[in-house]
């Protein structure tokens, strides 16, 4: 590289660096650009609104179907497990109280899930 090349390179480098400084200093105003991009973002995949009640209904139907098909099995399993836990046979009042508790818990869960949605 001769002296002339060096001089020219320095001069050109300085010009390019100055252009670079101008480029970085020049802010391009948004002017709605961000809003246009965000409006064109692909929609997030969402579950259809009817899916949750249909699933709950199907579970209820399945439970009712099993209860009808096996009338004694649920009662026996329930009474045995509670008797194991509390150490004594169950009366009607105990069953009613437990059902009320389970029902309350189920409704609370449903309401919480609905609010979270």
Partner 1 sequence: MSSTPVSDAQLIARAVVHDDRHAFGELVRRHQSAVRSTLRRLTGGNIAQADDLAQETFLLAYRNLKSFRQEAKFSTWLYRIAYNVFLADARKIKDLPLPDDAEGEPVADATAPSLSRQAALSVDLERAMLVLSEPERAAIVQCYHNDLSHEEAAQVLGCPVGTVKTHILRAKQKLKARLSAWSPQA
Tell me the CB-side half-sphere exposure of residue 24, using CA atoms within 13 A.
5
Place of tokens 């009613």: 96
Q: How far is CA 10 from the centre of its chain?
A: 58
Query: Per CB under 8 A, does 6 bind partner 1?
Result: no
Size of the site for partner 1 (CB under 8 A): 30
Nearer to partner 1, 69 or 116 (CB): 116
* C-alpha distances out from residue 91 to 37, 52, 84, Å: 66, 36, 14
Nearer to partner 1, 21 or 65 (CB): 21
Nearer to partner 1, 14 or 64 (CB): 14
Q: How far apart are CA 54 and CA 37, in angstroms?
A: 36
Footprint on residues 23-82 left by partner 1 (CB under 8 A):
23-24, 26-30, 33-38, 40-42, 44
Nearer to partner 1, 10 or 75 (CB): 10
CB of 9 to partner 1, least distance (A): 7
- Angle (nearest 5°) at CA 93 between 92 and 95: 65
Which chain residues interact with partner 1 by CB under 8 A?
4, 7-9, 11-12, 15-20, 22-24, 26-30, 33-38, 40-42, 44
């Amino acid at each position: 590289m001769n002296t002339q090349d060096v001089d020219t390179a320095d001069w050109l480098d300085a010009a390019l660096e100055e252009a670079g400084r101008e480029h970085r200093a020049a802010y391009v105003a948004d002017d709605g650009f961000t809003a246009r991009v965000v409006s064109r973002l692909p929609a997030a995949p969402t579950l259809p609104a009817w899916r949750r009640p249909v699933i709950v209904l199907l579970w209820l139907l399945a439970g009712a179907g099993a209860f009808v098909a096996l009338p004694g099995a649920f009662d026996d399993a329930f009474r045995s497990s509670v008797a194991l836990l509390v150490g004594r046979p169950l009366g009607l009042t105990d069953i009613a109280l437990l059902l009320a508790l389970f029902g309350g818990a189920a409704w609370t869960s449903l309401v919480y899930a609905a609010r979270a949605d």
